[in-house]
Amino acid sequence: MHVLATAGHVDHGKSTLVRALTGMEPDRWAEERRRGMTIDLGFAWTTLPSGATVAFVDVPGHERFVPNMLAGAGPVPAAVIVVAADEGWMPQSAEHLAALHALDVRHGLLVVTRADLADPAAASGRARREIAASSLGEVESVAVSAVTGAGLDDLRAALDRLVARLPAPDDQAPVRLWIDRSFTIRGAGTVVTGTLGGGRLRTGDELELTGTDRPVRVRGLQSLGEPVPDVRAVARVAVNLRGIDRDTVGRGAALLTPGRFRRTDLIDVRVHGDPVADLPATVMLHAGSAAVPVRVRPLGTDTARLRLDRPLPLRIGDRALLRDPGRHHVAGGVTVLDVVPPGLGRRGAAAERAARLDTMDGVPDLAGELRRRLLVRRDELDRMGVPPGGEPVAGPWYADPDHWAALGERLTAEVARHAAEHPLEPGVPVDALRRRLELPDRALVEALVRPPLLLRSGRVSAGAPSVPADLVAAVERAFAGLGPFAAPEVHRLAELGLGARQLGAAVRAGLVVQLAGNVVLPAGAPQRAVTVLAGLPQPFTLSEARQALQTSRRVAVPLLELLDRTGATRRLPDDRRTVPA
């Protein structure tokens, strides 16, 4: 299916033309038919000679209903511009074209209606010149009379040529269905409609609905008036939603693939149109089918920050429109440059931001986003519309290569500084390094550890720790004159400055074995004890072990318990022990 929007001045025959092409009545409301003018959006469809299906979003032409027109044209990739032969180019023709240009619509067709009432040449010439100066460029022109039927076959052929030029939709893209109608059907519940510009919808899908904090489920789908199990872009679609009240959803809301869009109320944009300095402080932003008041903060000559009255699901590269409703004036289009812009609180920040925005073109770019953000999660990139590439540096985290290399250098320096300031500690705790490097996740610290750095027991150190000479000397003095299985008394350790931290460092350095609290033996003592105990008659008692080792009960009890834990000895039910062969 292909979806086209009509555009043109009020009463130039847009709805009559759609009716003649499709045989359907696009004006849905009795008030519209009574007044002979389109007030809200209408929809109709037909099959072209090639077999392609084309659906029309028939928009109102009256100036008072331009917001309704924008709601229909916003999500549509191409337009049929209608100009009456007997009236020619008119104010709403210009405003509708300005809107299409602001939205960067690049495909269109000019239809000169009422060719039975006047020579279409003059109207066609003026309209083609106006259109050529817009984003649509040169367009084909067809003259028709919906009353006599003249030119309708030529129009159908021209529509075939138009839709053949349209870019192929991305049916793998995430769904963002801007809602342009919502209503209730007895027995079915809430139904919403919109133009599916990308992705695929299936019955049973779970989606996010803007303006609500809970997911919604697709109960049923309908396209071209028929129930269908799934719909691929581009298509007009009606979606029956389960468990949602009609009062909670309306025009301007959107159905979204979960986790793929960021709802933001602050964006930086490039303005294509009026100079930013001339924009009013408050204008209307039209994006998709939504219309939201925004406050404008000029930054550069053509860049600005917009504060939205309510969040919208926007991505980098999105195109939207600014309109000054007080002057009935399309101020221009905007390209979204950033949906997560930085704060501007410090002096000079606005000027720096303007300079940075001058380098951005609104094309989602992973390398550029990483240069600006330094570190960012994969899911955040998805929500901003930035296609990820390459491998993350840790878990879901992507990093700018230069920033990542600098972090590695800082990590090495922090580890060295900590080792100099705290020589008895086995390294820097990972969380301490995370805080010093101002990183959001300890996984990033762990990923930065490269040889010769080591990560052990939640600490990062510069390889094997060096043992301070004074610690080695203190340990040697502590055991001087003692037997091989005698432990220094607590007061002696205190005299030598061997407190808990120093003993911990001595244990990590392999100088001593800590049996319990302040009970320590020289390194290798447990292995030597096993040799002595193996020479006893088996099994042996605690007392026999103590006498063989020539040590005190204070040492013998925790030493035997250590040997039991390591399997060097085996404790029997009667509390005697053996040394396994």
Q: In sequence order, what are the beta bridge partners of 53?
A: 47
5 compared with 120, residue with greater pLDDT: 120
Class of domain 176-256: mainly beta
Average pLDDT of the chain to the nearest whole number: 87
Asked if residue 425 lies in contact with residue 505, where contact means CB atoms within 8 angstroms, the answer is yes
Give 121-172 pLDDT, tens digit per residue: 999 999 999 999 999 999 999 999 988 999 999 999 999 999 999 988 888 8
Query: Which of 171-180, 292-301, 383-392, 498-507 is the least confident region?
Result: 498-507
Report the pLDDT averaged over residues 104-128.
93
| Closest C-alpha among 267, 269, 298 to residue 357 | 269
Helix (H, G, I), strand (E, B) or coil at 540: strand
DSSP state string for 283-321: EEEEETTEEEEEEEEE-SSSEEEEEEEEEEEE-TT-EEE
How is domain 262-363 classified at the CATH fold level?
Elongation Factor Tu (Ef-tu); domain 3 (2.40.30)
Determine the Cα angle at 29 with ends 47 and 95, to 5°.
Answer: 75
**CATH topology assigned to domain 480-578:** Arc Repressor Mutant, subunit A (1.10.10)
pLDDT greater than 50 at residue 312: yes
Q: Per-residue confidence at 11, pLDDT binned at 50, 70, 90? A: confident
Strand order in the sheet with 428-429: 428-429, 459-461, 454-456
From 400, 395, 394, 370, select the one nearest 384 (Cα to Cα): 370
Distance CA 450, CA 412 (A): 9
pLDDT band, residue 387 (cuts 50/70/90) = confident
Give pLDDT, residue 37: 33
Report yes or no: 40 and 32 within 8 Å, Cβ to Cβ: yes
Q: E strand or H helix at 526, and its extent?
A: helix 525-534
Pairing of strands 235-242, 282-287: unpaired
Decide if pLDDT at 510 tops 90. no
Asked if 109 and 139 touch (Cβ cutoff 8 Å), the reply is yes
Measured CA to CA, the distance from residue 344 to residue 446 in angstroms comes to 33
| 406: Cβ contacts below 8 Å, ≥ 6 apart | none
Kindly indicate whether the domain formed by 2-165 is annotated with CATH number 3.40.1170.60.
no
Tally the residues of the chain.
581
| Residue the block writes with tokens 């500690």 | 425
pLDDT band at residue 399 using 50, 70 and 90 as cut-offs: very high
> How many Å apart are CA 374 and CA 385, to the nearest integer?
17
**CATH 1.10.10.10 domain position(s) in the chain:** 367-466, 480-578
Predicted local distance difference test score (pLDDT) of residue 137: 94
**What's the confidence (pLDDT) of residue 33?**
36
Using alpha carbons only, what angle is made at residue 55 by residues 54 and 57, rounded to the nearest 5 degrees?
A: 140
Q: Return the number of other C-beta atoms located less than 10 Å from residue 300's C-beta.
A: 19
Q: What is the rounded average pLDDT of the residues 359-384?
A: 92
pTM, entire model: 0.77
pLDDT grade, residue 45 (50/70/90)? confident
- What residue ranges of the chain are covered by domains with CATH 2.40.30.10? 176-256, 262-363
Q: Which two tokens stand for residue 414?
A: 């922090």
Q: Which of 111, 107, 93 is nearest to 152 (CA)?
A: 111
pLDDT of residue 26: 57
Cα dihedral 534, 537, 538, 539, rounded to 10, equals -110
- Average pLDDT on 570-575 reads 91
- pLDDT band of 489, cuts 50, 70, 90: confident
- Whether the per-residue pLDDT at 340 is higher than 70: the answer is yes
pLDDT at 253 over 60: yes
pLDDT on residue 39: 34
What average pLDDT does range 45-55 have in this prediction?
92
Kindly report, as residue ranges, where domains of CATH 3.40.50.300 are found in the chain: 2-165
Over residues 384-397, the mean pLDDT reads: 90
DSSP letter assigned to residue 390: S
Model pLDDT, residue 30: 35
pLDDT band at 35 (very low <50, low <70, confident <90, very high): very low
Per-residue pLDDT at 40: 44
Residue with tokens 């084309």: 54
CA gap 425, 423 in Å, rounded:
6
What is the DSSP pairing of strand 577-578 with strand 319-324?
unpaired
DSSP 394: B
Q: From CA 197, how far away is CA 406, in angstroms rounded?
A: 42
- The pair of structure tokens assigned to 270 is 């490039």
Residue from 302, 298, 269, 261 nearest 285 by CA? 269
Angle between helix 542-549 and helix 553-566 axes, rounded to 10 deg = 110
Name the architecture of domain 367-466.
Orthogonal Bundle (1.10)
Q: What is the 3-state secondary structure (H, E, C) of 164-192?
A: HHCCCCCCCCCCEEEEEEEEEECCCEEEE
